[in-house]
Amino acid sequence: MILRDYQNDCIKALFHYFESDKGKAPIICVPTGGGKSLIIAEFCKRVCTETPKVRIMIVTDVKELISQNEKELKELWPQADTGVYSAGLGRRDTRAQILFAGIQSVYDKVFDFGRVDIVIVDECHMIGRSSDSRYQTFFSNLHMANPDTCIWGCSATPYRLDSGMLHEGEDALFDGIAYNVEMKKLIKEKYLVPVISKGGVKKIDLRGVHLQAGEYKANELARAADDPELVKSAVAEIVSFGTDRKAWLIFAAGVDHAKNVAKAIQEFDIECAVVTGKTPRLERDKILDSFKNGKLRCVVNIGVLTKGFNNPRCDLIALLTSTKSTCKFVQMVGRGMRPYTEKENCLLLDFGGNVVEHGVIDEIDPIHRKTAFGDPKKTDPVKECPNCKVIVNIRVLQCPACGYVFPVIAPHSDTAYNGAVMSGQVTLIDIVDFYVGRHKKPGKPDSLKLSFYDKMDKEYCMWLALDHGGYASEKSVAVVQRFGGKATNVDNALKEWSYWKKPIGISVKPRGKFHEIVGVKFARADAIQNTID
């Protein structure tokens, strides 16, 4: 087995971290499908070869990852002394040099394993900050048994909804990032496939769905998502766009919702099965084996295949649910990004507004433990009323100042998101209204704000620095001229903009959660496309 360059670099970075004075609890960040199991295996082989008496434990909360990680090590290094401690797998080895374990089985049994020198946490984003969590209990006992134990974690998403980055904050278990490989790099080098989308607009009513610990309440979300008409229309779209797709993985909001989705798909004579947390192990294994070998085209699940599930054939992901967790969103989409024979991309059908909520998949910007605005756990997000500009809590449905009714945010639409899901993709948007105004920023010259509105009244903005001088002004004047204007400053532009050519469309590229306008389309035949850059 030959390691990829970035996998070798990752292992070198880990050794360098431990040899430096940075700490002894780093994290490595590798996207889903980037080969974390092989990195773990090679690290174990190198350490055990150089230090034969060292003992290593690899822990995770996912049964499938326990087996997968041991298998990867055995394929790389058949002579390795390995064992497994997992009630779910029916094995309870305690004395192997390299022990793969489920946290549910070992968190209160640390002293049964003797000395452990290195602990590796796979999917380390599952570690909570609560002092009474299984992981925290495990590590507390671990350091009592051996205060010098080194720990490192690996995850595609080293952050949590409730606490931000795992290495930030006074109570953080980890102390730094040893290595981070970007998703863009793996896509460029063909180790992952890109994600494409098809989109939609209509949202279901979420006014009855509340938040609990920052996430949608499961029972209310499931009830809202399971509207019969929405299920029917969403399934019809999945079937239509999935015609040439080999394997469909659908994430539902609840058990009844999943069963209704599967039933609707089966009415199109398509083989489909449901997997939930209560599906018996043998039945679940049989379903997933059929899905992996192509005998079963579609699987609907309720969160159980978010992590640790590997089926490279999967080339369609449908999100019939919503999440406030960026981590969960990335993990779900990542299930479809592994390469496979003749697989050029993965189609994401997002019916839950998740891309809008979290941003494009390859430019995720998770919250940090501490920001200029304080601890994000203690700061409710806000929004601005587009009518009177009053700032209100994100949960407010109607502006108390002017009565403006905010559009309903929904977890499930009857048609899927149609915008870009990766940073390099360009989306064409029809424009129905256009407005130009002055934009003020303290300590800066005024600029010209160009506002473009689509049919859903969503605003896309461009700012022209006409009064800033230098290259910025030159570039802004050039844009004004493409609109048919002659102004070279903000005052004149505001006087003449009503005579400019009217835009009927724009081209946008995502920048995290926001969009950059890269082109404008006019009605005149001699000015079909005007590139801004």
Q: What is the pLDDT of residue 383?
A: 53
| Average pLDDT value for residue range 64-82 | 93
Q: Percent of the chain, pLDDT > 90?
A: 47
Q: Identify whether the C-beta of residue 338 lies closer than 8 Å to the C-beta of residue 312.
A: yes
pLDDT band (50, 70, 90) for residue 198: low
**Rounded distance, CA 476 to CA 493, Å?**
11
Say which CATH superfamily domain 195-358 falls into: P-loop containing nucleotide triphosphate hydrolases (3.40.50.300)
Question: Which has the closest alpha carbon to 319: 363, 357, 288?
Answer: 357
Encoded tokens for 134:
């299984």
pLDDT tens, residue by residue, 21-33: 777 899 999 998 9
Q: Where are the domains of the chain?
A: 5-181, 195-358, 427-531
CATH H superfamily, domain 5-181? P-loop containing nucleotide triphosphate hydrolases (3.40.50.300)
The confidence band for 394, taking pLDDT boundaries of 50, 70 and 90, is low
Structure token digits, residue 219: 């029972």
| Per-residue pLDDT at 529 | 42
Greater model confidence, 529 or 272: 272
Q: How far apart are CA 298 and CA 296, in angstroms?
A: 6
Q: Is 195-358 the same fold as 5-181?
A: yes
Counting every residue written for the chain, the total comes to 533
pTM of this prediction?
A: 0.70
Q: Check if the beta carbon of residue 362 is closer than 8 Å to that of residue 184.
A: yes
